[in-house]
Amino acid sequence: MENKTIYILAIESSCDDTSAAVMCNNKTLSNIVATQKIHEEYGGVVPELASRAHQQNIVPVVHQALAKANIDKKQLSAIAFTRGPGLMGSLLVGTSFAKSLALGLNIPLIEVNHMQAHILSHFIEEDNYKTPSFPFLALTISGGHTQIVLVKNYFDMEVLGESLDDAVGEAYDKSAKILGLPYPGGPLVDQYAQLGNAKAFPFPKPKVDGLNFSFSGLKTSILYFIQRETKKNPNFITENRNDICASIQYTIVNILMDKLKKAVKQTGIKQIAIGGGVSANSGIRLALTEAESNWGWTTYIPKFEYCTDNAAMIGIVGYLKYKEQDFSDQHITAKARYVI
């Protein structure tokens, strides 16, 4: 099995990105992502529209992934797909397609946990990127999840702390909405933050026990702050946008780093990997890079293409499971809630 060339077709459809990738062992041959623009006018993902767009996108995206990889579907060793967590309608499209194609080609089917895949994306072989050794701590940060995970090996993970309410990505997007920025607003907050004074407006940090997070209180305090200031000055947001965004980002990054420091102290593990859409954020990347020199951590920051939802991260889990002969049968169903 070690010397065998394994080709995995991976499918990701957990939210609003349709993605397909072809892996040759632990290397990415292709990683195609079709984003859905329709949600922008609604200010957030509309589940029904997302699932319909997946149905339109999935065949051309898979076709493009195979063509770019220069692989015929008859060469595939297995099909890996996101089983969950995610939006049920979206997951059903990817799950149904993967099951049908695996059945038609008479090859194994491999189910993948989306959050586990964000963590294991660090094991995709890339030039100039190092992979973590076990055990390490993973901070998964996205629009739907915020977790600190103790990773003992590829398939032995323990959630040490998670958000009790909103995810960090939601805090970014809701803050952007309060400021009148278009969806998705998280990247825009990051963009403006780089031009502002991070200590211009202090926001409170929630007091949450252990390694858990909470972001709903921060969102509320930002809302009340903006309402109060715009009442005094209707042009407050326009005149202070960079400073407001910088202050929001500074607070969020501090919340995340405080919990990570606590997790390192609690476990004694100084290897930190990040994953998920928010790991593309410049403030978080900078804070982790500085932690290497400040506290002696070893940090692992993924390539931008592996931060947001993509099928290559599903493919690397598929490859690792293939080596273990860990396959699913045709009775497998999608799971909207699926713990690591």
The annotation places the binding site for substrate at: 140-144, 173, 186, 190, 281
Tokens 């992934």 identify what position? 65
Radius of gyration of the chain (CA): 20
Tokens 């994953």 identify what position? 275
Other CB atoms within 10 Å distance of the CB of residue 219: 21
Tokens 């990505």 identify what position? 169
| Residue ranges at the known binding site | 114, 118, 140-144, 173, 186, 190, 281, 309
Residue 32 to residue 20: CA distance in whole angstroms: 5
Residue 56 to residue 46: CA distance in whole angstroms: 16
| Cis status, amide bond into 184, omega within 30 of 0 | yes
| Residue ranges at the known binding site for Fe cation | 114, 118, 309
Cα distances from 96 to residues 16, 34, 48, 214, 286, in angstroms, run: 17, 18, 16, 35, 40
Tokens for 186? Answer: 């998280």
Residue 33 to residue 68: CA distance in whole angstroms: 13
